[in-house]
A and B are shown apart, each in its own frame.
Chain A
């Protein structure tokens, strides 16, 4: 299939379109973008999303090749099929962008996120928090007599579930890294 192919009538973005874009399916895609690790490159990518009204659900970035000065940006975004195609084309024409991969299309892929949760409490709640952490394979990275800091890694929905369970047990602070993702297989 041609990379530019699109379902008929999928595109609805114009000043002259008076129809609501609602009703078109919204999809979630995970994009991996390889960029030159140079000043301002993240601002270019984020500025594109802000300037053109695209969504960012999650974003991670770090250098992955020190010698080649390359960084990898992972973005989870949502949009109609035509908007997703646009996002990829717009990203690809940013000069320091080398590659744009849509892991959702090229998939299957694995997605992982790391989170730290601070849960404060004593007695029953504290015991229950510890018990659930065991089930989720979260580890304790800091503890006082009245608090834990749990570290958990996993797919974003696993972390969501853990967060929900911790809420009534005294959850007071959350830090999440955002998604890192990679295609399965070679």
Chain B
């Protein structure tokens, strides 16, 4: 059934028909008609953030923890430009997000009107697609199309720019099923010849490894289930990127830990020495590969990806499989079973012996202290005290993020929400808010650094207003720790602007927002303090004062290969030199 209504009403109706229950937004002149409609309904919950960047990261937290698209509503001009960082973050990490922005009325576009910005121009490179809607009759169709594009194929952020006169004018509403079918229909099934080649490689491989990424999680819980079945069936070791943590359980016997720049010794050496690498939904990011010409020199490489442009972009692969991870794994698993579930058991057993030697290095060991809290220790205690709870973790960006990935265990997908590709400081707090909105009864902890926390700390107001009991666990080293670490390794210990001066008193800051503040600087009190945080029914800022000059290891220095990893007990000053110094 089609109906006549105003553009603003169309927006709300379209969102409801798309199953949207929550919108993260901030009002302004160019979206007032939409806010007026929000006021007059109850089906959609609006979370008022304190900064539009916060809205985008909150929407990411919502999307990453549910698999559903996050929805953002912002005004024109500064509202839209403030959304750019979160959209770029979602683009890099393939997170479905729909941003609706207000725009000056169509007759004013191009006149430098008040709060006019070329929003589609600005967001073109940071969205999967975007639209400027100039006709109310096209509005419903465009919003449905936006949801389709955001969620199909490789997910990503989209933006619909809606001039104010289009919001006021009357037009025809069409429902999602009536909307024109888009020609944008990415291929889901993999090529059977390539899948057969994968199965043959699995049957004969002597030193195989699964290398998995965020694509598995994006493909859905079914894909994660298939992956687990495949890994268990073959008995092969598995590692994952930062984005893929949780697709395979950290407690699983075949789990090698995360790989890459701060990955485990066993994961990186397995990648380097393997003869079969099965990349499932990862993209050979430079944090993973290290030096390209030293990357896994002896392996046959398989790459399953839904995005053709990811295949052969950085690393040449021998068996490219274009398709959705879930579909491809299903076909591959069925084929492998029907051919008798064969693997080269004798060789794989030897391979495991080698891997277990590497595991024996115990690369995540660190020197603990009885007087100062080591950040790794703080995370180990947090893990011990929360691993049994229904728990969601977000992080900011820096050393604490890498330690979180190393010392916390993720048993399920959608439980670890971190800014991977863009590495956006200020992501974690608003993301934790979005996660808590989606999972009101779960424990949501943002692992933060002192510097990152300051970047979007205004969102504490949002947490308090909406009774979102998010826990902000700040590993406070009074440093821009990761920058300081690089300056130590790369720039002769000249710590240029990498310390946090004039930090606020985080306990008082919490109280100023109406939240609870807890400080802990003594390892002996740590468990009690963490329990106090967990038991408090409301948002908490936990100021955990940690060792100031701790470094994050293992580390593959820039420009080095997987087998040139630095472990914590080696001398590290000026470890990166020459060519490597130009890299980020």
Contact = CB atoms under 8 A, between A and B. Distances in A.
28 contacts: A2-B194, A4-B308, A4-B320, A5-B320, A6-B312, A8-B316, A11-B312, A11-B313, A11-B316, A12-B292, A13-B314, A14-B286, A14-B292, A17-B292, A18-B559, A18-B579, A40-B124, A44-B124, A51-B125, A86-B309, A86-B313, A89-B308, A89-B313, A93-B309, A95-B129, A95-B149, A95-B182, A98-B183
Contacts, number: 84
A2 B307 contact: no
A90 interface: yes
Nearest to B290: A16
A11 B303 CA distance: 15
Contacts of B128: 95
B311 to A, nearest CB: 5
Contacts of B154: 93
Point out which of A12, A16, A17, A43 has the most chain B C-beta atoms below 10 A from its C-beta: A16
Q: Which 7 A-B pairs have the closest CB atoms?
A: A89-B309, A95-B129, A4-B320, A89-B308, A17-B292, A15-B286, A14-B314
A3 B315 CA distance: 16
Range of interface residues on A (Cβ < 8 Å)? 20 to 34
A116 B291 CA distance: 50
Nearest to A91: B309
Interface in A128-180: none
Given A89-B307, A89-B308, 18 more contacts: A4-B320, A4-B322, A5-B320, A11-B314, A11-B316, A14-B314, A16-B286, A16-B289, A16-B292, A16-B559, A17-B292, A43-B121, A86-B313, A89-B309, A92-B309, A93-B309, A95-B182, A98-B183
Contacts of A106: none
B312 A82 contact: yes
Interface of B: 120-121, 124-125, 128-129, 132, 149, 153-154, 182-184, 191, 194, 286, 289-293, 307-309, 311-316, 320, 322, 558-559, 579, 583-584
Contacts of B558: 16
Contacts of A93: 153-154, 307-309
A89 B311 contact: yes
Nearest to B584: A15
A37 to B, nearest CB: 14
Q: Give the secondary structure class of A's interface.
A: loop
A16 B316 contact: no
A5 B322 CA distance: 11
Contact of B320 (A2, A9, A14, A16): A2
A5 B319 CA distance: 9
B553 to A, nearest CB: 20
A89 B312 CA distance: 10
A9 B289 contact: no
A90 B309 CA distance: 5
A155 to B, nearest CB: 31
A110 B131 CA distance: 36
A13 B293 CA distance: 11
Contacts of A10: 312, 316
A85 interface: yes
A180 to B, nearest CB: 24
A43 B309 contact: no
Contacts of B308: 3-4, 89, 92-93
B316 A9 contact: yes
B291 A18 contact: yes
Contacts of B153: 93
